[in-house]
Amino acid sequence: MPARWKTALIGAGVLVFVNLVLACGGALKPPVPVRHEMPIKAYRSTMPREPKTFAMDCELCSLYLGNRDRKALLAILCVEPETTTILYAYVRRDSLAGKQAFALLKDGKRHRLLATVHYPAGGTDADAVELDRIREPD
């Protein structure tokens, strides 16, 4: 449980999560629930070509699987928080999605984001996907 959340015992043993952020003026956002269009392990095993959206903990990384162009592409480590399943998402630096990803991740920290990804045509590596869109949750 994140440090900014605490638990309190109320009445006859009912456990309630108290968001201390709200008590402090709401400066921080509460954790984003994990939601996916399909289970991440099923996604990796079937490698569908159509885009799917996952709530992932994302950060910039320097691992370029296969023969990928480091100058043209941005590499993003995406970790599914419940299973710790890893995907490496690649996006062109000069694309809208690439610019959005860099703007969200340039601080070097890991962020819970909604990432829409797909497996490239002819792709054979279950770890490597292409990033279509990345955004903060609503």
What local confidence, expressed as pLDDT, does residue 9 receive? 36
Give the integer Cα–Cα distance in Å for 45 and 107.
32
Q: Among candidates 48, 57, 37, which has minimal Cα distance to 130? A: 48
Which of 18-27, 98-107, 108-117, 129-138 bottoms out in mean pLDDT, i.e. has the lowest?
A: 18-27
- For residue 56, the Cα-to-chain-centroid distance in whole angstroms is 2
User: At 28, is the pLDDT very low, low, confident or very high (cuts 50, 70, 90)?
Assistant: very low
Give the integer Cα–Cα distance in Å for 74 and 115.
14
Question: Which uninterrupted H or E stretch holds 41?
Answer: helix 40-46
Backbone angles phi, psi at 125, to 5 degrees: -100, 115
Q: Please give the residue that has the higher pLDDT: either 19 or 32.
A: 32
- pLDDT tens digit string along 4-19? 444 433 333 333 333 3
* Pairing mode, strands 128-135 and 86-92: parallel
- What are the extents of the domains in the chain? 1-30, 40-135
Enter the tokens of residue 33: 């629930």
User: At 32, is the pLDDT very low, low, confident or very high (cuts 50, 70, 90)?
Assistant: low
- What residues contact 41, with CB distance under 8 A and at least 6 apart? 83, 85
Residue 118 pLDDT > 70: yes
CATH class of segment(s) 40-135: mainly beta
What local confidence, expressed as pLDDT, does residue 17 receive? 37
